[in-house]
Chain A
């Protein structure tokens, strides 16, 4: 987010520079006052002035923490006192050899792929339906979007109570219609916990997918629909041949957001299960929090956060290169 802010702040500056270059080429001063050289210096200062706040914030809250975590990962450090016990790559060896961490990586990827496989078709179907003129459309859109607006912690606490074994609303409802419920509850059974967390995440984030897809569908020109209808295309054909293909850039962007969100998954897991039962729902983020702030193994937490950063970075770059490239190319 911060990087986007920096780019937007830099853009007007970039435009100014280009104009200055143009002036130099034609050898004419726009206003006729002052020499071009002084003008350029002033404009550079202007750029610096406008970009500096964003850059400072980014350096302070993004660059510095990243580097300090990376530095921490090479030391054994308990969180206070001088950082002197250099251990080389030992923390990385421990993190990668720790079953809890490797399981956490697997859980993250399960969520990444499950999100795309489940939420994409579901979100697309809902968006296509809600794009039709049906009664109560505004209300339906609101109902689907409300969970996304709700703070994650609040949603987590509500679901935690709904999912209480025996006394929770969900189990009461299921048992009243004769549906079997697990002995230890949905969150307390290791084999079901991750799936349960995923269901709650889907409930929470489907709204975002639907919202983005609906916005994307607004960009599909009406003429195409009309032309297709004139040609006798059915509703289904219109969606499949026109709406969905034209929505593809939006879908690719959503997939990217969903992927990054799934890799960084923390809040919902922390509230629903805290990573348990029996480490069945740990994620990379819960691992580094429990190692860092709870156990004071800041070196291990640093190494885990660097691994998380590298995985996220590699996936983002790969996705950009393989999938998003055609979108940016089309723009240019």
Chain B
């Protein structure tokens, strides 16, 4: 489940037909992706056809499937070792495990040009300084809010500090509006609060070190929990938030925001697409959609401009033919990334495509992302499922009032020590 929803369109559709993984011969490339709705599906078919035309003799077998189906099938593919030639990686600890098992091809040499062009965003897909996947869409987490409800409560500017956030919460409650929806049933939405507080409380060095050393002794991690506690203490969440799902159905956290029942929600760049899928008119919040970054934390070592985020990258299976690397390079080319941006399929990583994003909300996020000194990969992805899962569990317990900021650090450290 870990932040697996880095997709813009989660509306259900049938999974792809063929289940064949890497085809035997060198001229057939299997490519799995999760853009199974238009315009993404058609666009990628076109991309594959263009690639085939430019590389005579090469056949690209495109398999488009719903995101959850793809994740399940990929897991089975990793278990059997029969991995599709080109597939999606979320980076972090998960990728490191795949690298360790010898399933992913090192792209550092073959795609050095593309890696340079993408710049800092590739960091989440590097293991020991080698790059194993090329991120094609990287988004950031922040508060999506209902501008109309903020106005109704008399809040003129989105909160920029923690005090302003708690003040806004009180104002909204005073106006009879539930301030925040939270899908703590899925745990990661609750964990995002803690992650972001840690990004604000800890310096970049501390966080970078923690990802590799799995050492959480720096006091800023406890401070992060304390900041989250001040938010929890204002009781801002929708009733029953402990079992509320993140984004499935109208009663999910996203659904509550989309239907105007709460004022805001902390979640990823995919939110507008999710909300569109959850409203009858397909508009989501429409023109009432607003976004503001996670507020600054007083006395925090972190840069208030730094963001928490994550994304998807194209990876090549270890056994794949060389043509698969060419396909991935083509997918990151100015041409394909621009088309990707024009179709509002995500937040492109190739700077050449930045101007092509038409959706205003996505364009704003892109600006925020590119202005950020660094984008911290979601901790659960960065630390891998085992440590990240233990961390999310402990954070969810804090939201239920059954864990202290120190407990979160202790339990994460314990899970990390068991990994060593």
Contact = CB atoms under 8 A, between A and B. Distances in A.
Interface of A: 78-81, 94, 100, 161, 164-167, 183-185, 187-188, 190, 193, 272-274, 276-279, 290, 293-297
B404 interface: no
B243 A277 contact: yes
Interface of B: 1-2, 75, 78-79, 81, 97-98, 100-103, 184-186, 238-244, 251, 384-386, 389-390, 393, 396-397, 400-402, 418
Contacts of B101: 78, 80-81
Contact of A294 (B78, B97, B389, B418): B389
B240 A184 contact: yes
Contacts, number: 88
A184 B239 CA distance: 5
Nearest to A300: B386
Contacts of A183: 239
Given A273-B185, A276-B243, A78 B1 contact: no
A278 B242 CA distance: 8
A80 B241 contact: no
Nearest to B100: A81
Interface of A is mostly: loop
Contacts of B386: 78, 295-297
Contact of B1 (A79, A81, A184, A294): A294
Contacts of B402: 190, 278
B4 to A, nearest CB: 10
12 contacts: A81-B100, A164-B240, A166-B239, A185-B239, A185-B240, A188-B243, A274-B186, A276-B184, A277-B242, A294-B2, A294-B385, A295-B389
A311 B15 CA distance: 38
A187 B243 contact: yes
Contacts of B389: 290, 294-295
Given A278-B397, A296-B384, 15 more contacts: A80-B79, A81-B102, A81-B103, A100-B393, A165-B239, A166-B239, A184-B240, A185-B239, A188-B241, A188-B242, A190-B242, A277-B185, A277-B242, A278-B401, A295-B385
Contact of B251 (A94, A164, A297): A164
Given A79-B78, A278-B400, A297-B386, A184 B98 contact: no
B76 to A, nearest CB: 10
A265 B212 CA distance: 39
Contacts of B78: 79-80
Nearest to B186: A274
B243 to A, nearest CB: 5
B240 A278 contact: no
B21 to A, nearest CB: 13
B79 A79 contact: yes
Contacts of B75: 79, 293
A164 B251 CA distance: 8
A184 B241 contact: yes
A172 to B, nearest CB: 13
A27 B17 CA distance: 63
B55 to A, nearest CB: 30
A80 B103 contact: yes
B251 A167 contact: yes
B90 to A, nearest CB: 13
A167 B81 CA distance: 47
A200 to B, nearest CB: 13
Most buried by A among B184, B243, B251, B389: B243
A188 B98 contact: no
Nearest to B103: A80
